[in-house]
Amino acid sequence: MVDSLVQVEVAYAKQNEQALLTVEGKPGLTVREAIERSGILRRFPEIDLEKNKVGIYGKLTTLDHPLENGDRVEIYRPLIADPKVQRKKRAAQGKKMRKGAGEKR
């Protein structure tokens, strides 16, 4: 009996450019193998698999994780700013703007 192929997608997004590539392989295809076969590392040389985190449908995983048919491998970029710090800054700005907003002259 011939093993059927596993078909997965590899996704990466920058602010102004996205890529979603389809890859096929034998059962047991790993996250690393799918990324390498997709050619996405040549297209986006800034991707460093030793630094960038990866996931399957938004859930972090390892590079040696075996994929199932229909999985979407996602390569994550490092955050530019800490979301918690940014929320605190916006909240502080909102308080300043509201303070005295209803005062009558």
* % of the chain at pLDDT higher than 90: 67
Provide the pLDDT for residue 19. 96
Q: Encode pLDDT of 1-54 as tens digits.
A: 456 899 999 999 988 999 999 999 999 999 999 999 999 999 999 999 999 999
Neighbours of 89 (CB within 10 A): 11
**Distance between CA atoms of 1 and 15, rounded to whole angstroms?**
45
Domains of the chain (ranges plus CATH)?
Answer: 6-98 (3.10.20.30)
Residue 93 predicted with pLDDT over 70: yes
